[in-house]
Structure formats: C-alpha cells, structure tokens
Chains A and B, each alone.
Chain A
Amino acid sequence: MMFETAILVGILFGFAVWLILQSSFVKILFGFILLSNAANLAMLSSSGSPSGRSAPVVLDGIAVTAMADPLPQALVLTAIVIGFGVLSYLVVLLYRIFLDQKTTNAAELFDESRSQEGGPEQ
C-alpha cells in the first residue's frame, strides 16, 4: 500500500508532460528532467513499500526478507545515469539549435513562415 508514491509518480508525470507540451526549449528541457525523475520513481515503486525495511546491505542480524528489494534500486541507478546521458545530449542539441536557428522556442523553430527564406527545397 503506497498511495503517496503512486500519487508522486502521477504528479511528476503529469507536470512533466505538461512542460514537455510547451513550446519553450527551457520548459521542455525542464519537462524532460522531471520526466526522468518520474520514470525513475515509477521504477522504484515496484520495490514495494519500504516501511519497516532496511537498506539492501546484507549485514549480520537482519533477515533478507526485512530488506528493501535491491533490484529496482540497481535498475534505477542505471536509469539515472542513462537519463543523464540523454539529457546532457538534449542540452547540447538545444544549444546547437539555438546557435544555428537563433531561437529558443519550438513554436518559432517550426514556424512555417520561417521556411520561406533559406528553407529546404521542397
């Protein structure tokens, strides 16, 4: 029974998606940062309620069944790092787009009237 984690996951997903649906690069980037966190928490929620459990470090005197599930934690750890890789790539891409297209706004980036000058030939 972990109502609050589920709510947290829901909140983070909802707000992250809201931000991603905006047009500002910065908002979108923030959205993806939040989304990464949200997905990590969703993954972590599968380890079950941590109440009354200890960290998954095997020490004498603690029963294995009384520890948190280590597998989701390990997976989340991997996911955090992967998420970092992707996000940093996204940051660089946004920078590059800013350099080339002189805009920080997706709506402006894909504004069709812009494609009149210097656009691809089609």
Chain B
Amino acid sequence: MNLVVLPVLLPALTGLFALLILRPSPVRRTLVGISGGLQVALACTLVGLTYTQGPMKVELGDWPAPFGIVLYIDVLAAIMIAIGAVISWACMLYGFFELPTRVTHPLRLPLVQFLMMGINLALVTADLFNLFVAFEVMLLASYALITLEADDWNIKEAFPYLSVNLFSSMLFLAGAGFAYGMFGSLNFADIAQQAELMADDPRVGALGILLLVVFGIKAGIFPLYFWLPNSYPILPAPLAALYAGMLTKVGVYVILRLFGTLLPHEFSGLHLVVAWMGGLTMVLGVLGAVSRGFIRGILSFHILSQIGYMILAIGFFTPFSIAAVIFYNIHNNIVKASLFLVGGTATVLNRTDTLARMGNLWVATPALGIIFLCQALSLAGLPPFSGFWGKLMIVLEGLNLGSGPGGWQFFVLTGLALFTGILTLFSMLKIWLTTFWVRDESIEVHREDRRWKGMTAVVGGMCLLSLTIGFGAQFFIKLSFEASRQLLDKAAYIEFILGPS
C-alpha cells in the first residue's frame, strides 16, 4: 500500500461508510471521529516522511509517468494535507458538540469527507486534467454542503457561488485543453519541462494568465473574489470554518504550483502583477471586513485580506517569500478556522452574531475571550502570536526587495501590508469591543445552553496549536523553507517524476 494514495482513500472510505450507515448515531460519530484522528496522524506522518526523505510519488496503475496519472507529495502538499486534516477534524468535533445526533443532517458527515477527498486529490495530483476532476469533486461537495442546511432565505446565496465556480471550472477545462494542445501532455513535470523550452512562446504566458484567473477565482483574489464573502456566511459555523480554512487555500496552493512548478520562473512581469493583485486584495478585503457589522461577514472578508498577503508574497517570488507564504498558510488556516468557530460559539451564547446586539461575553466566558483575543491578535499579525512570524517574513522580504534597485513598488506593497495589519486589528477590535467588552444587562448570555463548553474546548485546542506555531516558529518555518526549496527546485521535480532523462 502506497502512502501517497491514503490521503485520498481514507476520506473516501470514511465518507462511503458514513453514507452507508446514513442515520446519525453516536456509533457513526465515534467511527468517523476516529477516522478523522487517523487522517491527522497519517498527514503528520507524511510531513515527517517528505521532510526527512524527500518527496513521494505513485504512478497509478503503474503506467509510466507522463502518460498515466501521477500522484506526488512533497512537503508543501503534505503540510496542506495535514492542515486540512486538522481543521476538518476540529470542525467535525465542534459540530458534534454543536448539534446533537437527533438534529444532525445525515448527509453532512459524508459530504465533508468527500470534500476532503476532493481537496486532498487536488493537493496530491500532478496532472492538470486530474486536477480539474479533483476541483469538480471538491466543488460539488462544497455546493452540496452550502445548500444542505441553508434555510429558504439563505438558499439564494448558493446561486452566485455555484455560477461563479461553474464559470471558472469551464474556463479551467478549456485551459487544460489549451495546455494539452501546447505541450502535448498533462503531466505537471512534462509541462514544466516543455514550458522551460518554450519560454519565448507568448502562449505560455497567456496560459499562465488564464489559469491564474481560474485559480484566482477559487482563492479569492481581487477582483475575482466578490462571490466569496457573501456566500460563506450562510454556512453553519463549523462548515464556514472548514471552507475558510481550507477551500480557498487550495486555490493558493494551486497558484503556488502554477508559478513554482508549471510556469518558467522568469515571468517577473506577471509576478509583479500578481503582487499588486495581492496587495489590492489585502486592502480591499480588510476594508470589506471593516464595513461589516456581523461576525460572519467580518471574518469572511478577512479570508480575502489574508489571501492577499499570501498572493503578495507569491508575487515577490523568492525562495524566502514562498517559504513565507507556506508558513502563513499553516498559521492562517488554523487561526481563521478557529475564529469562525469562536464566532459560532459566541453566536450560540448571544443568539445572534450581529455586533450591535452582542455583549457580556468577557465576563461570562473569559476562556472564549482569551481564545478570541489570541487568535484575533494573531490574525492581525501582532507578536508573539503565530501571525507575527508570517507577517515578519513577508515584510522582511518586501523591504529586502525594496532596498534593491528600482524597488519602490515593493516598499509601497510592504506599506500596504502593514496598513492592512492595522485595519485587521481595527476590525477585530470591532468584535472584541462589542461582543466581549460591552456590558449591558439587556443582552442575554445563554450559558445554560451547555453546548458552548464543548465547542469552546475544541477551539481551545486549536488555539493551543496556533500558540505552538507562534512560539515554536522555528520548527514550522524550517518546514516551510524545506517546502519552498522542494517546490522551486524544478529540475529535481522533473527528474523525480519523469525519471532521469
């Protein structure tokens, strides 16, 4: 049994199992929960293996590399799988506390597992068309989940979500076709090799742009992101956390692959465009967050501004900045997801998530407050929390590039990144000052609804994890550097997949 297929296989089997049992029951929960734990363990093993022994691959059906489908895991993919596993597990456990078995939707568990299956396939595949298929699996599961528990008012938000993603999928399909037409192959390594040879061919750049737009829609880059912040809020809290943590980050991952693996590294003009798109995403995303008056809305817009940071660093396109992206991704997924979960818990306690009607929580539930504070400050990039290191790395690299000749643009972009940080802080303060600090006797806190305890415990675990990332940054940054090195070492990638030429 090859370890590489397990990240796809395990959720698939779990999902099927949950589908077969169908009726929600404690037994089903336990078994799926155990599987979630196994997935985390597996992902951590994969990170360890790829870090110490280099990337792994499997040629499905033993068909040789550029022809059959190859699954490939390097440190980057393993890290993403691990984050996904952790988040989906946490969200699942949170969901168990949130809803008793009686009212759980029977399809939620299987669909989440199928979603993870699609995400993991997208992470490990080294084949452009297979990536399209993986995206479709992932997206259909996400369509299904977004509509699954939507009420008759919210259901309409699923429509733009579906149509935008369908639109981008079709562009992706066409793009995959164009790639095949140009390179005669769909295998990443083969495309990378051919693209190097065709670096003078303007069509390569055009393909890069088309795919950037397609993946940019998934990741939520300005001006392609509008669909995102209005559709995520209709999800129940744990699913919103999962989407926020993982779904958009797959887009970032694929953009990393696009620029790191597929396209020639010399596209500095395109990289600069990407950096500016990232910069604008950052600022406009956070302004959107500032403008919203309810927790889900604020957090949904924050997804974008954080994506902006990552895209900005991808645009810097140095080994250091790519490592920064990867570290930022690790930190941000955890923090983002747990903020959504904190928001969900606060909503349960206050029976609303409209800031104007929330309050009293710092007195009623200090534990939740501490968790929120840690994660919010981390999101804003304040030390010593995990977000600080990510921002530090990005700012360092921005200043580094800016100090070079003609680097004023990088100074501007770095300035934007810092400005975004302060607006992030501001919007987090908006939540903190009302939800936690307002003391008003007319605002009820439903502490008797004991679900919040278990929910808070799960988020507390995630908060610990994020604190670990902050204080043990050494380990995670080192991991990111190795991931960045493996991602950018194209020759080794090609040789590893295609064999020595």
Task: State the A residues within 8 Å of B (CB).
Answer: 9, 13, 20, 28, 32, 35-36, 38-40, 42-46, 48, 71-72, 75, 78-79, 82, 85-86, 89-90, 93-94, 96-97, 99-101, 106, 109-110, 118-122
Quick check: is B297 within 8 A (CB to CB) of the other chain?
yes
Q: Once the chains are docked, how many angstroms separate the CA of A75 from the CA of B173?
A: 9
In the complex where A89-B143, A118-B153 touch, is A42 in contact with B159 (Cβ < 8 A)? no
Report Cα–Cα, A96/B147, bound state, in Å: 10
- Are A109 and B156 CB-contacts (below 8 A) given A39-B173, A42-B173, A122-B354? yes
Given contacts A36-B170, A93-B158, A119-B153, contact A42 B143 (CB under 8 A): no
* Chain A: CB-nearest residue to B180: A46
Residues from chain A with Cβ under 8 Å of B136 in the complex: 82, 85-86
Q: What DSSP secondary structure best describes chain A's contact surface?
A: helix
Interface residues in B166-181 (C-beta closer than 8 Å to A) = 166-167, 169-171, 173-174, 176-178, 180-181
Chain B residues closer than 8 Å to A72, beta-carbon distance = 177, 180
**What's the Cα separation between A87 and B305 when bound, in Å?**
32
Is A101 a contact partner of B155 (Cβ separation < 8 A)? yes
Interfacial chain A residues near B163, Cβ < 8 Å: 20, 28, 32, 90
Q: Within B332-354, which residues are at the interface with A (CB < 8 Å)? A: 352, 354
- Residues of B near any A CB (own CB < 8 A): 129, 132-133, 136, 139-140, 143-144, 147, 152-156, 158-159, 162-163, 166-167, 169-171, 173-174, 176-178, 180-181, 186, 293-294, 297, 352, 354
Main secondary structure, interface of B, reads helix
B167 touches A100 (CB 8 A): no
Which residues of the partner chain A approach B180 to less than 8 Å between Cβ atoms? 43, 46, 71-72, 75
Query: Are A121 and B354 neighbours in the complex by a CB distance under 8 Å?
Result: yes
CB-based nearest B residue for A44 = B177
Question: CB distance B154 to A120 under 8 Å?
Answer: yes
B170 touches A45 (CB 8 A): no
A39-B171, A82-B136 known; A45 vs B153 contact (CB < 8 Å): no
Q: Is the beta-carbon distance between B129 and A75 smaller than 8 angstroms?
A: yes
- B148 CB, nearest partner CB in chain A, Å: 11
Check B158 against A43 for contact (C-beta < 8 Å). Answer: no
The smallest C-beta distance from A99 to any residue of chain B, in angstroms, reads 8
A44 contacts across to B, CB distance below 8 A: 177
Smallest Cβ-Cβ distance to B294: which chain A residue: A122
Q: In the complex the two chains form, what is the Cα distance from A75 to B176 in whole Å?
A: 10
Determine the chain B residues whose CB is within 8 A of the CB of A45 once the complex forms.
177, 181
Contact A106 B173 (CB under 8 A): no
Q: Considering the complex, give the chain A residue whose CB is closest to the CB of B171.
A: A39
* A20 vs B154: C-alpha distance when bound (angstroms): 22
Of B144, B170, B176, which is in contact with the most chain A CB atoms at under 10 Å from its CB?
B170
Further contacts, 8 of them, CB under 8 A, given A71-B186, A75-B177, A101-B152: A38-B170, A46-B181, A78-B129, A85-B140, A89-B140, A93-B147, A119-B153, A122-B297
CB distance from A70 to the nearest CB of B (A): 12
A120 touches B166 (CB 8 A): no
A43 CB to nearest B CB, Å: 3
Given contacts A32-B163, A32-B166, contact A42 B153 (CB under 8 A): no
Q: Which of A28, A43, A89, A90 contacts B173 (CB 8 A)?
A: A43
Indicate which residue in A79, A109, A121 contacts B159 across the interface (CB closer than 8 Å).
Answer: A109
**A121 contacts B162, C-beta separation under 8 Å:** no
Residues of B within 8 A of A82 (CB): 133, 136
Instruction: Evaluate contact between B169 and A42: CB separation under 8 angstroms.
Output: no
Whole-angstrom CA separation of A5 from B383 in the bound complex: 57
What are 6 pairs between A and B in contact, CB < 8 Å?
Answer: A45-B181, A48-B181, A89-B162, A120-B153, A121-B294, A121-B352
Q: Which chain B positions have C-beta within 8 A of A40?
A: 173
> In the bound complex, do residue A93 and residue B173 qualify as a contact, i.e. CB atoms below 8 Å apart?
no
Q: Which residues of A contact B152 (CB under 8 A)?
A: 99-101
Which residue from chain B places its CB closest to the CB of A94 in the assembled complex? B159
CB distance from A31 to the nearest CB of B (A): 9
3 shortest interchain CB distances as A-B pairs: A46-B181, A43-B177, A100-B152
Give the CA-CA distance A85 to B169 in the complex, in Å: 13
The answer to whether A90 and B166 have CB atoms under 8 Å apart is yes
Q: Is the CB of B143 within 8 A of A97?
A: no
Instruction: Say whether A39 contacts B170, CB under 8 Å.
Output: yes
Residues of A within 8 A of B294 (CB): 121-122
